[in-house]
Amino acid sequence: MNRPLARILALAVAAALAGCATTTPSSAVTDTQTMPAPAVLDNPFFADSPLALKYPTFDKIKDSDFGPAFDRGMAEQITEVEAIANNTEPASFQNTIVALEKSGQILGRATAVFFNLSGADTNEAREKLRADYAPKLSAHNDAIALNPKLFARVRDLYQKRADLGLDAEGQRLIERYYIDFVRAGANLSDADKARIKDINAELATLSAKFSRNVLAEVNASAIVVDSKAELAGMSEAQISAAAEAAKTRKLEGKYVIALLNTTGQPALAQLENRALRERLYKASIARGSRGNEFDNTSIVSQVLKLRAERANIMGYANHATYVLEDETARNTTAVNAMLNKLAPAAVANARREAVDMQAVIDAEQKAKGQPSFKLEPWDWAYYAEKVRQARYNFDESQLKPYFEMKNVLENGVFFAAGQLYGLKFKQRTDLPVYHPDVTVYDVFDADGKQLAIFIADMYARPSKRGGAWMNEYVSQSHLTGNLPVVANHLNIPKPPAGQPTLMTWDEVTTMFHEFGHALHGMFSNVEYPRFSGTNVPRDFVEYPSQVNEMWADWPEVLANYAKHYQTGAPMPKELLDKVLAASKFNQGFATTEYLGAAMLDQSYHQLSADKVPAAGDMIRFEQSALKANGTDFYVVPPRYRTAYFSHIMGGYSAGYYAYIWSEVLDADSVEWFKENGGLTRKNGDWFRAKLLSRGGSEDAIITFKQFRGREPQLEPLLKRRGLTTP
């Protein structure tokens, strides 16, 4: 995959913002003498993959290939960049911008695969490589971004861009290059550039260590249960999976409940054993702050101080101000205003939901002749299900038999894409995969031509980071002739052999969500890789994926996939009606836990360096920030606490607000689809042409307005979240 310099610079800025090596597949050593000897001619990264659409040769890639590919790729790109910077001919669009777009081929191929595998299927060798190369890659980014001769050529083109006779995309490319260079520090003094380089290298190292700690402690903190009786409330399949998990840890006869990297844990909604629920919850929230070898509080403190210092060097009051200038939000005032508007209504809803749950607790305890107890955080999910059952007469366990994983993907997600966009999918078994659980599909456009390759990696495993995400192995570009190879990753617990994979409703909507990102990548129709697919502002990137969630419960789509895995019988209409009626249920909790994390992110990143709390004060600061933000409702903790808040140690630093910012656009767009007839090719083609295909080649809000015909409105979001009624 070609990862051109403009995109590298954008990623360099994003990674610098984040201090996260995993999102910076672009930095390298500047010493050309580090190029490896030509003996490693069989390295699969030294040439384009011979497979379809340059799909990675996973069967030939060894961990030992990455280091030589990084070294040679970095050295080669530095040589290319030096040739551009020292070109004696006047700077032109072709000899400077386009030449930079084409640079870094080997490095791009190697980093695309490496950093994707580091998230999807890591191991000790990859973790060591990541730690070793994080500062080297950061130094490489800086060597390019802070090259004064190179910047002089870009600046010259920027100043006369209107007179170059370029089309709109070419002119925007020059503008983005210039902005990327400036935001990387190209205008700074030599002393400040030197300090920026040191900060970036240190942040890369710290971020890699933070990520290792999070993954290691998620695995180390799994709950070991001695008896099956303690797991009452869980299904037989879940109990079998817990027994299998224990066997893999050589704990025969016991059961293991694995943790996800969120505060809430799925088993909390089912476990009848209150003591076990408390144990599970407390293990979850203690991660990263126990004072053990996985403690992340010192790392977070250091990262926040370094980010604040760098922002100050760049001329900004704080890291958040620096980040938001290049997002659609533009400034902290806009973000704070939206979050502050939503928080009071969300918390008020959560408090009303808590009253309902306390009433259930009181009634149950009275019926047992036992004293009541106060609702605690580890009780919320369990009693929310009871309230849901009482109010809507169904629970999640009734839904799962209708949501078999492959059926949801092929007859739900793919079906909706076919109805909207005319896409067709065909599974491939001839392409190599990096893990046996991975499935690969060819994607064909409405005209029958191949559009992309789609990789589906749906199961959780110890080598995989938590959450769900999309990534690209190859990005679309007319300049390079590349078509997309994109992947979706979920963390669905894998059942024992021979058992069906039955999904929760949340997992179903997550699958639709991530495929919305995949569509954004697959429909890209741009000239330059810098603008391909999801290369849009962070607070815009979630928008198309959130829109795609609407098709999960669209009647025509649901009827096509919501079928009993044993009988094939469709989901009863009365059950579907209950699901739809319950769509606003527990939204006070969902919105409050999200806002707690989003506002905590802003609280940290709107600090100056001298105000950043020390490691021992991080948790106290978290508590005081939640109180100041009005989201400190004890029984609804933030979705992520500081020490395992991977989003803000990665690409979402000062940007976790992006989900709800994007949801404003999403909710408004859902209204447009409903107003215009819903699931039709006409609607899909319009959304694709005006927005999904444009990538970053136009200003994000302009693409929204071209699609919607007006500015976005907040009211559809408030209505969806149930925040409009007292």
DSSP string, 524-584: ---SSGGG-TT-S-HHHHHHHHHHHGGGGG-HHHHHHH-B-TTT-PBPPHHHHHHHHHGGG
Same fold, 5-211 and 404-561+659-720: yes
| Closest of 350, 345, 262 to residue 589, by C-alpha | 350
All residues at 6 or more sequence positions from 285 whose CB lies less than 8 Å from its CB, including other chains: 263, 637, 641
Q: Is the domain 5-211 a CATH 1.10.1370.40 member? A: yes
Torsion angle (degrees, nearest 10) of CA 650, 654, 660, 666: -70
Instruction: Report yes or no: 23 and 115 within 8 Å, Cβ to Cβ.
Output: yes
Largest CA distance in the chain: 90
Rounded to an integer, what distance in angstroms lies between the CA atom of residue 147 and that of residue 143? 6
Rounded to an integer, what distance in angstroms lies between the CA atom of residue 311 and that of residue 179? 15
- Is this structure's pTM higher than 0.75? yes
Number of neighbours of residue 422 by Cβ within 10 angstroms: 16
∠ CA 127-129-132 to the nearest 5 degrees? 110
pLDDT value of position 41: 65
Whole-Å CA distances, 630 to 333, 592, 616, 708 = 17, 10, 23, 34
For residue 397, with 0-12 CB atoms within 10 Å meaning exposed, 13-18 middle and 19 or more buried, which class applies? middle
Which tokens sit at 36? 């490896």
What phi-psi label fits residue 185: left (phi over 0), alpha (psi between -120 and 50 degrees) or beta? left
pLDDT value of position 467: 86
Listed as ranges, residues in the chain with pLDDT below 50 are 1-39, 726
Instruction: Report yes or no: 289 and 642 within 8 Å, Cβ to Cβ.
Output: yes
Q: In the CATH hierarchy, which fold is given to the domain comprising 404-561+659-720?
A: Neurolysin; domain 3 (1.10.1370)
Q: Where are the domains of the chain?
A: 5-211, 221-286, 404-561+659-720
Rounded to an integer, what distance in angstroms lies between the CA atom of residue 598 and that of residue 714? 18
Q: CA neighbours within 13 Å on the CB side: how many for 488?
A: 26
- Token pair 């076990």 is found at 276
pLDDT value of position 16: 35
Please report the DSSP string for 91-118 in residue order. P-IIIIIIHHHT--HHHHHHHHHHHHHH
Residues labelled as active-site residues: 514
What phi-psi label fits residue 622: left (phi over 0), alpha (psi between -120 and 50 degrees) or beta? alpha
Whole-Å CA distances, 481 to 54, 67, 110, 484 = 11, 27, 19, 10
CA 161 to mean position of chain CA atoms: 34
Per-residue pLDDT of 160-214, as tens digits, reads: 999 999 999 999 999 999 999 999 999 999 999 999 999 999 999 999 999 999 9
Per-residue pLDDT of 21-60, as tens digits, reads: 333 332 222 233 333 344 456 899 999 999 999 999 999 9
Per-residue pLDDT of 314-349, as tens digits, reads: 999 999 999 999 999 999 999 999 999 999 999 999
